[in-house]
Homo-oligomer: A and B are copies of this chain.
């Protein structure tokens, strides 16, 4: 398993009147880490889309522990926890960059589809994409 890590500065528009980051933004932080991980692995999501491989989100869940606040630098870690021929699960941890205090954890699952959102067997139809995921996944349960 290889863990990818990126950082993000909390923006003013991400806060809400409670004075903390609005919870919906964590779903966006997850996406930021996931797409940067893909780019770092040589799979820019932009180019995957151009090649006809889409990865729509099937589910997402977030557990909130402590609030992140304006101007804070956060670290977003992600790693592939499950890889199947037509789907993928990614896990996440959002924490304070300096103290390591964990703000949230979560996961998302994704299908591999064509641009019409029909599932594709990425292992067969785009083995070079599958290989990149397989190389960094935690365990191969198929």
Closest CB in chain B relative to A98 CB, distance in Å: 15
User: Which B residue sits closest to A44, measured CB to CB?
Assistant: B71
Cβ-defined contact, A63 with B59, below 8 A: yes
Residues on A close to B: CB < 8 A? 9, 11-13, 15-20, 22-25, 27-28, 31-32, 35-36, 39, 44-46, 54, 56-64, 67, 70-71, 117
Cβ-defined contact, A117 with B24, below 8 A: no
Question: 17 A–B contact pairs at CB < 8 A?
Answer: A11-B31, A12-B16, A12-B35, A13-B22, A13-B28, A15-B16, A17-B20, A23-B27, A23-B60, A24-B28, A27-B27, A44-B71, A45-B70, A59-B62, A59-B64, A61-B61, A61-B62
Residues of chain B within 8 A of A28, CB atoms compared = 11, 13, 24
A72 to B57, CA, bound (A): 20
Besides A45-B70, A46-B70, 9 other A-B contacts (C-beta < 8 A): A11-B35, A12-B22, A15-B16, A17-B17, A17-B20, A24-B28, A35-B71, A56-B67, A59-B64
Closest CB in chain B relative to A114 CB, distance in Å: 12
Cβ-defined contact, B56 with A18, below 8 A: yes
Max count, chain B CB within 10 A of own CB: residue among A18, A57, A67:
A18
